[in-house]
């Protein structure tokens, strides 16, 4: 313990930059998308950096990592990077090697794309692979959705970028709250309490304080707590704090779909995503209901938005009532906010469309 080397931080990124990037750091003049998945950055020195972006399933084996390392050795002098959406980027100083690299990636089943007005990789979470609070799976749905929307990864035919994200519970690890389309796991039943173990393994004040709707109160007689069912909206936060509260329910756990979030400041400022579909069943291994719903929203958006318009901009232009009309999605009581700042989301104008 005494000799442990600690607090050394990550390795300095500069040590891992390809020479062409080191030499032209801060000197880039412009870039172009050569074709789907291929970028070229041109420096004021005239140097050209080619980037080949390829999809990755994020959850990858060390064998996959070694294979992409081999490709980086062969085409990029051993350099590559991962993007903030878990795509792999091969960084080439020699543009003549781009097509050979793409051919080899394609042969291995690694798709090239994710640039420009495409649907790039889905930012997602742990799901049933590793977390203990999920209401749905991550890798499974992501694979199913990307299979169905694959053509949008390898082309750039959408009006604008379309970001899809997934989180398997409403802790929302990742980007679901700010994505064009978000897939979010939800529970629909009140947690069950294991009174026998609760006082041994849980801090009761922490548990009661974890509930956003104050549905939990102590039950001193049982040395436990009780949940007012009619106040509970199944967020699962209490389970995060206390292992004796059980919320996972194979039959009733489900998936919801959200739309219209963005994080960039271009044209209109950032937006939170909002509820589009409150409930779709968990239907592994292919989640056809979820896949169809996402695909449908993508297609309606693609057919109706103007060039350059993100999902949020399109919806705000046509209005939410038109969004529900053109998508054919049902507007229900579930869509009406009833939390702390609900009032700010109600309509306080006579302006609306029939």
Partner 1 sequence: MAFIEINGQQFEVDEDGFLLNPDTWIEDVAKYFCKEEGIDELTEDHWKVIKYLRDYFFQFGIAPMVRKLCKDTGYSLKGIYELFPTGPAKGACKLAGLPKPTGCV
Task: Please report where in the chains the tokens 């379309």 appear, as a residue.
Answer: 162
Q: Which of residues 242-271 bind ligand SF4 (CB under 6 A)?
A: 247
Q: Does 168 bind ligand SF4 (CB under 6 A)?
A: yes
Q: Does 287 bind ligand SF4 (CB under 6 A)?
A: no
Compare residues 195 and 286 and give the one whose CB is closer to partner 1.
Answer: 195
Compare residues 234 and 320 and give the one whose CB is closer to ligand SF4.
Answer: 234
Q: State how far the Cα of 172 lies from the Cα of 167, in Å rounded to an integer.
A: 5
**Choices 87-95, 105-113, 230-238, 311-319; region in contact with ligand SF4 by CB under 6 A:** 230-238
Question: Which of 156, 235, 241, 311: binder of partner 1 (CB under 8 A)?
Answer: 241
Q: Evaluate whether 257 touches 182 at the Cβ level (below 8 Å).
A: yes
Q: Does 191 bind ligand SF4 (CB under 6 A)?
A: yes
**Choices 87-95, 142-150, 198-206, 338-346; region in contact with partner 1 by CB under 8 A:** 198-206
Burial 48-83, CB ≥16 within 10 A → b, else e: bbbbbbbbbbbbeeeeeeeebeebbeebbeebbbee
Q: Which of residues 107-166 bind ligand SF4 (CB under 6 A)?
A: 125-126, 131, 133-134
Q: Does 347 bind partner 1 (CB under 8 A)?
A: no
Q: Which partner, partner 1, ligand SF4, none, binds residue 301 by CB below 5 to 8 Å per kind? A: none
Q: State how far the Cα of 109 lies from the Cα of 143, in Å rounded to an integer.
A: 14
Q: Could you tell me if residue 88 is left (phi over 0), alpha (psi between -120 and 50 degrees) or otherwise beta? A: beta
Q: Which partner, ligand SF4, partner 1, none, binds residue 235 by CB below 5 to 8 Å per kind? A: ligand SF4
Q: Least separation, in Å, of the C-beta of 286 and ligand SF4?
A: 20
Q: Does 200 bind partner 1 (CB under 8 A)?
A: yes
Q: Does 1 bind partner 1 (CB under 8 A)?
A: yes
Q: Does 212 bind partner 1 (CB under 8 A)?
A: no
**Choices 18-26, 33-41, 143-151, 225-233; region in contact with ligand SF4 by CB under 6 A:** 225-233
Question: Which of 19, 78, 95, 243: binder of partner 1 (CB under 8 A)?
Answer: 243
Contacts with partner 1, residue ranges (CB under 8 A): 1, 171, 197, 200-206, 240-243
Contacts with ligand SF4, residue ranges (CB under 6 A): 125-126, 131, 133-134, 167-169, 171-173, 191, 210-211, 213, 215-216, 227, 232-238, 247
């Amino acid at each position: 313990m005494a000799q442990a080397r600690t607090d050394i931080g990550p390795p300095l990124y500069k040590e891992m930059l390809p020479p062409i990037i080191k030499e032209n750091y801060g000197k880039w003049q412009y870039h172009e998308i050569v074709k789907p998945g291929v970028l070229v950055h041109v420096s004021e020195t005239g140097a050209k950096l080619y980037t080949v972006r390829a999809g990755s399933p994020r959850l990858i084996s060390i064998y996959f990592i070694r294979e992409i390392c081999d490709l980086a050795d062969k085409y990029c002098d051993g350099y590559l990077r991962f993007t903030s959406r878990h795509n792999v980027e091969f960084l080439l100083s020699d543009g003549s090697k781009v097509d050979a690299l793409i051919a080899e990636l394609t042969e291995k089943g690694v798709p090239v794309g994710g640039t420009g007005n495409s649907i790039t990789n889905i930012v997602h979470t742990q799901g049933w692979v590793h977390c203990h609070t999920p209401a749905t799976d991550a890798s499974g749905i992501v694979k199913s959705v990307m299979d169905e929307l694959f053509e949008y990864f390898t082309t750039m035919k959408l009006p604008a970028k379309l970001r899809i994200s997934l989180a398997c519970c409403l802790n929302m690890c990742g980007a679901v709250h700010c994505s064009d389309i978000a897939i979010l796991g939800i529970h629909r039943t009140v947690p069950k309490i294991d009174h026998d173990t609760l006082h041994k393994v849980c801090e009761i004040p922490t548990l009661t304080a974890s509930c956003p709707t104050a549905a939990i109160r102590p039950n001193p007689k049982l040395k436990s707590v009780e949940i007012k069912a009619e106040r509970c909206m199944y967020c699962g936060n209490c389970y995060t704090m206390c292992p004796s509260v059980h919320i996972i329910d194979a039959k009733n756990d489900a998936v919801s779909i959200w739309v219209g979030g963005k994080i960039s400041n271009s044209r209109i400022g950032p937006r939170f995503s909002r509820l589009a579909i409150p409930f779709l069943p968990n239907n592994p291994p292919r989640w056809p209901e979820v896949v169809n719903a996402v695909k449908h929203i993508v297609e309606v958006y693609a057919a109706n938005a103007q060039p350059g318009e993100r999902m949020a901009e399109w919806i705000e232009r046509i209005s939410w009532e038109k969004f529900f009309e053109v998508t054919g999605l049902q507007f229900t009581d579930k869509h009406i906010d009833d939390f702390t700042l609900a009032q700010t989301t109600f309509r306080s104008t006579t302006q609306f469309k029939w």
